[in-house]
Structure 1
Amino acid sequence: MMSRAVVFAYHNVGVRCLLALLARGVDVPLVVTHQDSPNEDIWFGSVAATAAAHGLKVITPDEANAAEVLAQVQAAEPDFLFSFYYRQMLGAPLLQAAPRGAFNMHGSLLPRYRGRVPVNWAIIHGETETGATLHTMEIKPDAGAIVDQMAVPILPDDTAQQVFDKVTVAAETVLWRSLPGLLDGSAVPQPQDLAKGSYFGGRKPEDGRIDSQWPAQRVHDFVRALTHPYPGAFADLPRGRLRLWQTRRESHGGSSPAPSRTELRLEEGRMLLACPDGAHLQVLAATLADEPLTADNFRVRLGASAVTLGA
């Protein structure tokens, strides 16, 4: 007998995991997703369009836990409920609407990096790997028992989008190989040891400010975690807001001594960040007041050959 699943989903992980369910022969009578925000850079795939292309019923409620949404989920008579990068917490009535369980796909190696934007947080903290985890859903976020997980590497210069692309493949793989056991009842989720990880909250654009006391490696990780399509790492200078979009560790550094606070310098035709730990980053892409800042226009735009990033 075909299993039925209601799917709450958004983003690329939502698209790929919905397709994996359909490819495994799961009947999806209802897909719940978000309306795209006009204030957000929509660089990812559309769950709504994917579901519509497969003839599935789609709703986009403002509040997932509203009574009318619960009624539609219950009317769908699902065996399972899945959440794939859906952005709202699902309350107990929704989780209890699927007698064979509710499952979430999370973009980290749980119990590490529970909570919001786990890929960005992992890069900010200099991690060398992350992954995707399928787990049972509880009222407490990302705390349920683990069905399966898969690790992916974070290379030294990987951006958040590059890592997210890997996590998307990991999520699809984890779901694909987990579904047979979930559907036939043989899967045995393993409880998490929450003491081995931490919870992280969401990030806002204003959280992208660079601390001028940070060592070079931390600045580099911060830049690549927040670069396009995210709002970017920034510092406010007398002539406008500096945003750093791409940096690279320098093996030999610059010719000047280490500053007490991070400086942006023009040296030998290159833009360099000289950090208090004595290490240097080459700045490969930056903007000042939303216009490109380059080695060629550095002195004209900044009025100096070096400027301190701030307090």
Structure 2
Amino acid sequence: MSAPTAIVFAYHDVGVRCLRVLLDAGVNVPLVVTHTDSPGETIWFRSVVTVAAERGIRCVTPADPHDPELLQAARAMQPDFLFSFYYRQMLKRDWLDLPSRGAFNMHGSLLPRYRGRAPVNWAVLHGERETGATLHRMTEKPDNGAIVDQFAVPILSDDTAHEVFGKVTLAAEIVLARTLPAMLDGTAVERPQDLSQGRYFGGRRPEDGRIPPHASARQIHDLVRAVAPPYPPAFASFGGQRIFIERTLRTDTLPDAPGRGLRLWHDGAALWLIADDGHALRVLAARRDGNSVPLDARAFETLSLGSWLAADA
């Protein structure tokens, strides 16, 4: 019996790992569709193009995946499956109806929670203590189809979104590897989503990292974690300077810092971010806008910034 055939849309670390799962299972992948890396984006993840090249798989990067010539070529391949692993564009009915045994997507949350864009970042921002990866059947509505399988991972209180994404990547690999045999032999059981148990979230922009002046220390800590590098980090303006806060640590210590409202303060040994609620975060990593040199307590003093700075209104 011939090996099952799958066309794969993939990008990012999840795309790399899940493509390798398919190949390891003996699935025939005649075509991989991916993205050209954006010159304005920090590329910290692995390359689907490289994996395809190593395996001699045809790999294309169309600006529009619904190009008629590409669809015609795909139909000629008569695929059994279509998989989407962190591909960033929505696929329309022409693609979803093309594989004889269905189209499936890997999403980086425990659906139906956190449907839509940047699910890991949103989960961290909201202080969730777990997330995961979900394999589901694709429909024309994003992250809406029946669930095939999912796997949960913990979010620790100081985990950054980047660290959580690493866990979600492993969860995606586990989900696909353990479910693929049943999908290939036709015994996989799907269950519909209860969409009332979650909602959609949109993409995030660098400006969304601005620290609200009246946020609590807990809310600020979660924001810092959610957008810590390699993402554009959280920031606020102090003394006319934009300061990026890249890593914080929650602490029960309450420094006797002057002033009121959101402010930066150093005690000669550590740099602190004092929230409007009076609670403090120890700043483990920070930078001034346009300056690659880390801003620590010593640099804070050397730069004649004073012992403390209130956030600009």
Normalising by structure 2, we get a TM-score of 0.96
* Separation (CA, whole Å) in 1 of partners of 2:289 and 2:161: 23
* Separation (CA, whole Å) in 1 of partners of 2:241 and 2:259: 24
Aligned to 2:299: 297
* SS of residue paired to 1:297: helix
User: What amino acid sits opposite 1:273 in the alignment?
Assistant: L
Shift of 1:302: 5.5
* Separation (CA, whole Å) in 2 of partners of 1:241 and 1:58: 42
User: What amino acid sits opposite 1:228 in the alignment?
Assistant: P
Q: Deviations over 1:18-49 (max 9, x none)?
A: 00001111100100001111111111010011
Question: 8 Å contact 1:258–1:274 — kept in the other structure?
Answer: no
Question: 8 Å contact 2:9–2:84 — kept in the other structure?
Answer: yes
Question: 8 Å contact 1:257–1:278 — kept in the other structure?
Answer: no
Aligned to 2:211: 210
Question: 8 Å contact 2:263–2:273 — kept in the other structure?
Answer: yes
User: What amino acid sits opposite 1:34 in the alignment?
Assistant: H
Aligned to 1:236: 237
Shift of 1:108: 0.2
* Separation (CA, whole Å) in 1 of partners of 2:282 and 2:157: 14
Shift of 1:240: 2.1
Q: Are residues 1:281 and 2:281 paired?
A: yes
Q: Deviations over 1:244-297 (max 9, x none)?
A: 0110012122123782x2111112421111112221100111011232212112
Report how many aligned residue pairs link the two structures: 310
* SS of residue paired to 2:298: coil
Question: 8 Å contact 2:238–2:311 — kept in the other structure?
Answer: yes
Give the stretch that moved more between structures: 229-238 or 48-57.
Answer: 229-238
* SS of residue paired to 1:166: helix
Aligned to 2:54: 53
* Separation (CA, whole Å) in 2 of partners of 1:72 and 1:243: 48
User: What amino acid sits opposite 1:309 in the alignment?
Assistant: A
Taking every aligned residue pair, what percent have the same amino acid on both sides?
Answer: 55
Give the stretch that moved more between structures: 285-294 or 143-152.
Answer: 285-294
Question: 8 Å contact 1:84–1:104 — kept in the other structure?
Answer: yes
* Separation (CA, whole Å) in 2 of partners of 1:257 and 1:116: 40
Q: Deviations over 1:185-213 (max 9, x none)?
A: 11121000001001000011111111010
Aligned to 1:308: 310
Question: 8 Å contact 2:257–2:265 — kept in the other structure?
Answer: no
* Separation (CA, whole Å) in 1 of partners of 2:205 and 2:53: 32
Q: Are residues 1:265 and 2:270 paired?
A: no
User: What amino acid sits opposite 1:281 in the alignment?
Assistant: L
1:71-90 equivalences under 5 Å are: 71-90=72-91
Aligned to 1:4: 5
Shift of 1:66: 2.1
Question: 8 Å contact 2:239–2:309 — kept in the other structure?
Answer: no
* Separation (CA, whole Å) in 1 of partners of 2:236 and 2:257: 22
User: What amino acid sits opposite 2:282 in the alignment?
Assistant: Q
Gap regions ≥5 residues in structure 2 = none
Q: Deviations over 1:35-88 (max 9, x none)?
A: 111111111010011011011111110111222221222122100000000000
Aligned to 1:185: 186
Question: 8 Å contact 1:208–1:234 — kept in the other structure?
Answer: yes
* Separation (CA, whole Å) in 2 of partners of 1:204 and 1:73: 34
Question: 8 Å contact 1:258–1:278 — kept in the other structure?
Answer: no
User: What amino acid sits opposite 1:8 in the alignment?
Assistant: F
* Separation (CA, whole Å) in 2 of partners of 1:30 and 1:149: 26
Question: 8 Å contact 2:259–2:310 — kept in the other structure?
Answer: no
Question: 8 Å contact 2:268–2:297 — kept in the other structure?
Answer: no
User: What amino acid sits opposite 1:267 in the alignment?
Assistant: D
Gap regions ≥5 residues in structure 1 = none
Give the stretch that moved more between structures: 264-273 or 53-62.
Answer: 264-273
User: What amino acid sits opposite 1:301 in the alignment?
Assistant: L
User: What amino acid sits opposite 2:189 in the alignment?
Assistant: V
Q: Deviations over 1:199-241 (max 9, x none)?
A: 0000111111110100001101111111111010011233421
* SS of residue paired to 2:297: coil
* Separation (CA, whole Å) in 1 of partners of 2:102 and 2:8: 12
Normalising by structure 1, we get a TM-score of 0.97
